[in-house]
């Protein structure tokens, strides 16, 4: 741990450091390692980034909450209006019964938005480590049309993370191994509150990086996410 921290600190200060490939002593001005020939990356990408405090993340969270309310309100209005029209035109149900159902469904949309926002606000920052990776085979029912269906085999990619307090968290993706391949067993990670996303401690060998705000995939050399413009944590 001390050696890793020293390399990271040397990099930040612009003083001599060591090649990440063979461990040979190198100078900051060197472009290639004199011993193994590895092209030297002047940024180590080791350590948790202090860019998490950038105001762009605050703006993103405020915009996300606002759009969650707007989208939920639109769905609620559609539900209420749709059931009201149904009650006026359908012989199967009359108003105000249909209208009441519309209000209940509309309220559920608003409640979902509220619970999502509360869940984000209650989240916390914590550190952990990737302890295992699993690929699980599962079956799902697929609608084939005309009230027919068939069963399809699919893969679920699981990343298991143990928090410092020994609680277990899982990251999962269906039929997409990008995140699965991004993490390795033994990787130290930090969960960032409100964003509900993870940052790797050591990104020195990575060619890609996920935006901690919108989860878009970016090139490791980019400074900001191409989609939401939030800074990439590296």
Indicate the residue among 151, 170, 190 that finishes a domain. Answer: 190
Nearest-CA neighbor of 155 among 181, 176, 171, 183?
A: 176
The whole-angstrom separation of Cα 193 and Cα 191 is 6
In a domain, residue 50? The reply is no
In a domain, residue 81? The reply is yes
Question: Which residue range is the domain that position 144 belongs to?
Answer: 126-190
Residue 4 is predicted with a pLDDT of: 39
Instruction: Please answer whether residues 156 and 136 qualify as being in contact, where contact means their C-beta atoms are separated by less than 8 angstroms.
Output: yes
In a domain, residue 66? The reply is yes
The whole-angstrom separation of Cα 129 and Cα 44 is 20
Instruction: Please answer whether residues 98 and 87 qualify as being in contact, where contact means their C-beta atoms are separated by less than 8 angstroms.
Output: yes
pLDDT in tens, 71-108: 999 999 999 999 999 999 988 999 999 999 999 999 99
The alpha carbon of 151 is separated from its chain's Cα centroid by a whole number of angstroms, namely 30
Residue 14 has pLDDT above 60, yes or no: no
In 3-state terms, what secondary structure has residue 86? Answer: helix
Would you say the pTM of this structure is higher than 0.85? no
> How many domains does the structure of the chain reveal?
3
In a domain, residue 153? The reply is yes
**Band of residue 2 on the pLDDT scale cut at 50, 70, 90:** very low
In a domain, residue 115? The reply is yes
**Band of residue 13 on the pLDDT scale cut at 50, 70, 90:** very low
pLDDT in tens, 208-224: 999 999 999 999 999 99
Residue 42 has pLDDT above 60, yes or no: no
Residue 203 has pLDDT above 50, yes or no: yes
């Amino acid at each position: 741990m001390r050696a890793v921290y020293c390399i990271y600190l040397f990099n930040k200060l612009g003083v001599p450091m060591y090649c990440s490939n063979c461990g040979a002593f190198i100078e900051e001005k060197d472009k290639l390692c004199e011993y193994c020939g590895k092209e030297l990356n002047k940024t180590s990408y080791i350590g948790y980034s202090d860019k998490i405090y950038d105001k762009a993340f605050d703006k993103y969270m405020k915009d996300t909450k606002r759009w969650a309310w707007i989208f939920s309100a639109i769905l609620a209005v559609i539900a209420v209006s749709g059931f009201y029209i149904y009650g006026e035109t359908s012989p199967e149900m009359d108003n105000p019964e249909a209208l009441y159902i519309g209000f209940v469904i509309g309220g559920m949309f608003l409640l979902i938005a509220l619970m999502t926002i509360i869940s984000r606000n209650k989240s916390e920052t914590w550190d952990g480590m990737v302890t295992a990776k699993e690929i699980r085979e599962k079956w799902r029912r697929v609608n084939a049309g005309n009230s027919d269906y068939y069963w399809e085999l699919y893969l679920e990619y699981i990343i298991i993370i143990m928090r410092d307090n020994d609680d277990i968290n899982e990251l999962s993706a269906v039929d997409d191994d990008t995140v699965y391949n991004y993490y390795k067993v033994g990787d130290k990670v930090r969960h960032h509150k409100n964003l509900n996303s993870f940052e790797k401690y050591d990104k020195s060998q990575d060619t890609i990086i996920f935006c901690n705000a919108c989860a878009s995939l970016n090139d490791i050399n980019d400074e900001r996410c191409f989609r939401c413009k939030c800074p990439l944590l590296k």
